Amino acid sequence: MEWLHHQLFQLETATPLKLWSDEFRSYLYVFDLVDLLIELLTINLKEHTTLVNVGGIDALSRVELANKYLAVTATHNPTAITAISRHIAPTSRAQVDLGYPSPLNTKLNTLRLANLLPHFIWTPTEKFLHEISCRFFIKE
């Protein structure tokens, strides 16, 4: 997020910010990760020895992530949004040869994790992006 924030709000350049529109990731708030790990450590492992995927609740492209980030930033800092000098240029990752195989969609199936921890509530994407955005603007 720090990279994305810097890229969106840097003043040095007005060139378009190329972000992939067809590659999807499950972004997970670091505080949710810590809480999940603590919860997993407290369950009876003899009854629940298993592998689980740990990921966020939404699968987003980088373009979607950037747009959501800008939307939540506008709610607490509308003047920052008007200062953006770069527009987002959606780019297809499928057309880029990375030199190694990489799936376009890595959305993790967290159903097993949700069944193990039925009372755990993931932080909604917009909420954690808002919290992150507030922290960045406090630092500046």
Residues of the domain holding 25: 2-139
Question: What global pTM score does this model have?
Answer: 0.86
Question: What are the Cα distances from residue 114, in Å, to 21, 27, 46, 59, 70?
Answer: 28, 16, 18, 16, 30
- Per-position b or e across 13-52, b if 16+ CB within 10 A of its CB: eeeebebbbebbbbbbbeebeebbeeebeeeeeeeeeeeb
Contact 76, 136 (CB under 8 A): no
For 19-74, write each residue's pLDDT tens digit. 999 999 999 999 999 999 999 888 876 776 778 899 998 999 999 999 999 999 99
- CATH of residue 22's domain is 3.40.50.720
Any alpha helices (H) in the chain, and if so which ranges?
2-9, 30-42, 62-76, 78-82, 111-116, 125-139
Distance between CA 7 and CA 20 in Å, rounded?
A: 14
pLDDT at residue 105, as a whole number: 93
% residues pLDDT > 90 (the chain) = 57
Contact 4, 63 (CB under 8 A): no
pLDDT at residue 96, as a whole number: 84
Number of domains within the chain = 1
pLDDT at residue 71, as a whole number: 93
Q: Which residues partner with 61 through β-bridges?
A: 24
